[in-house]
Amino acid sequence: MKKNLKYIFGLSLVALLSGCVINVTSNTSDMNLSSEPTNSSISSSLDEEGREQDKLSIMFYTGGYGEEWLQEITDAYMSATGNYVEIVADATISSKAEAQLQSKNGSEYDIFISHDLNWQDYADRGLLANLDDVYSGTTVDGDKFKDRVIPAAEKISKYQGVRDSEPHYYKVCQTQGAGGFVYNEDLFKA
């Protein structure tokens, strides 16, 4: 069930966004964006890891991108599926992700939305799910997921880890933007 939730949620994200994606409670502002699903008849059972099957947990980096877009998508997903989504906003996600991924009890989160994660190393160690089925799947609009991703972002999301016989997708880009702006000030002097 967890795999299906992740797959459906990922496709829903792409259907609503034209950008890219990679779980959520706030470390810096104690903001909890979680809301109960609109379908109150959902009964949650536990999976093999002792986690709620009808719950998707997302931690995301609060680095100035805002949270409203994720809450909007989450609300639409919960309304459409009746599944519960917990969002945890955290400005220190990069220092917590590895410990979560290596936990003997499994991560508290199903999806991490961040930047600067050492995802290639995590893939080499078998800590990330192969997302090939997501990239080959279709969105709710009938579009192929891979076709909705910017080509450069699609290319950098694929990696051949030390355990892999061929390259696989291990992430979906959340944003594509400039990391800074550098210019020669002499060009602007009169």
| 4-8, 92-96, 124-128, 172-176: least confidently modelled range | 4-8
pLDDT tops 80 at residue 73: yes
What are the angstrom distances between the C-alpha of 10 and each of 67, 95, 146?
Answer: 17, 24, 12
pLDDT of residue 168: 96
pLDDT of residue 136: 94
pLDDT of residue 27: 31
CA nearest 149: which of 114, 173, 116, 177?
A: 173
User: Using CA atoms, how far apart are residues 47 and 53, in angstroms rounded to an integer?
Assistant: 6
Greater pLDDT, 75 or 117: 75
User: Using CA atoms, how far apart are residues 92 and 115, in angstroms rounded to an integer?
Assistant: 11
| 27-31, 74-78, 94-98, 158-162: least confidently modelled range | 27-31
Tokens in use for 78?
A: 């919960």
- The pTM of the full predicted model, rounded to 2 decimals, is 0.65
